[in-house]
């Protein structure tokens, strides 16, 4: 990723190493065959209290464990050990807020499709990173286009594994979107139903309902997606939100006629969509439901909502 601001340390295979020394061999198995798994996590600093929290750290590391199990990668650390290592590397770099990238991959040792005998490498990198799609996008929204590239099917590369190989699809869709003047792409699944963005889950607001594709349609088990669904449900049940959250299949035309569309992800957070395939969504900027959920989401990650304190790991 271009423009990553360097910090002092990366955690690699159980110890802190200088940033420039966190290297791997060019013949590492995962470099050639895409057999790595990873996570994306954020640490937030409350601007009023100065306290810092990693958002849903345990859940992310548990998903990393599940990805390793599906990919048949032997993980030499537990989720709790990786969570502690994450806090260690953030503190070592003196960061109060950052993006966190744990990755598990097959290293040097064998060549060929069969990975048997290759060593498992584990690293956790952290660095300062602002809004993934830009600060202005959080209010003004992004322009997206439906990609000609389909999302991988559940029996090809299963969406339950967050693998490096999975993101070749995303890379192709992202480059296509940029070539067509869009900020981001929306991928359909093999059945032609709306799946997800290149690194985000999708939500549609229309007729009193917040809809998002079910996991069975091939979407990643997004942790931010799950968080927003829970937040929306709680707000609706408390009478503070007048739209009901629902998991249901969506078509591309559902995006065209929506009152609001927004994307969620650890990197993207809660980003509104201003247009789809050149068709303006709502007023062409952040809508009231997106704004309410976005505001609540940031209150949660900053530690301002006691109800969700169990999602936060204090730095």
Could you give the residue ranges of the DSSP H alpha helices within 108-256? Answer: 137-140, 167-179, 223-237, 252-256
Which of 97, 143, 162, 174 is labelled catalytic?
162
DSSP codes joined into one string, 156-182: TS-TTS-BTTTHHHHHHHHHHHHHTT-
Active site residue 162: yes
CB 263 within 8 A of CB 220: no
Contacts of 202 (CB under 8 A, 6+ apart): 186, 194, 195, 196, 212, 213, 250, 255, 261, 262, 263, 264
Measured CA to CA, the distance from residue 302 to residue 259 in angstroms comes to 28
Distance CA 250, CA 203 (A): 10
Residues with catalytic annotation? 162
């Amino acid at each position: 990723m271009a423009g990553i601001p360097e910090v002092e340390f990366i955690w690699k295979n159980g110890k802190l190493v200088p940033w420039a020394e966190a290297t791997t061999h060019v013949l590492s198995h995962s470099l050639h065959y895409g057999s790595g798994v990873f996570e994306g996590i954020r640490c937030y600093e409350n601007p009023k209290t100065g306290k810092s929290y990693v958002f849903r750290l345990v859940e992310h590391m548990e998903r990393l464990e599940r990805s390793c199990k599906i990919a048949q990668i032997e993980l030499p650390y537990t989720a709790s050990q990786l969570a502690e290592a994450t806090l260690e590397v953030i503190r070592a770099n003196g960061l109060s807020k950052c993006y966190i990238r744990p990755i598990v991959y097959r290293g040097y040792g064998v060549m060929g499709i069969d990975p048997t005998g290759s060593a498992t490498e584990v690293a956790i990198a952290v660095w300062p990173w602002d809004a993934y799609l830009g600060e202005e996008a959080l209010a003004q929204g992004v322009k997206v286009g439906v990609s000609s590239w389909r999302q991988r099917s559940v029996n090809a590369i299963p969406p339950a594994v967050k693998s490096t190989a999975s993101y070749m699809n995303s890379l192709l869709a992202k480059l296509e979107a940029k070539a067509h003047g869009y900020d981001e792409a929306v991928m359909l699944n093999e059945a032609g139903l709306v799946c997800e963005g290149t690194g985000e889950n999708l939500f549609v607001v229309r007729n009193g309902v917040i809809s998002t594709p079910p996991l069975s349609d091939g979407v990643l088990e997004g942790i931010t997606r799950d968080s927003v669904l829970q937040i929306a449900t709680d707000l609706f049940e408390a009478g503070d939100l007048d739209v009901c959250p629902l998991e249901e299949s969506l078509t591309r035309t559902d995006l065209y006629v929506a009152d609001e569309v927004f994307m969620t992800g650890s990197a993207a957070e809660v980003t509104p969509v201003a247009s789809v395939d050149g068709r303006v969504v709502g007023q062409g900027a952040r809508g009231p439901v997106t704004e309410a959920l976005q505001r609540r989401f940031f209150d949660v990650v900053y530690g301002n909502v006691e109800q969700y304190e169990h999602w936060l790991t204090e730095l």
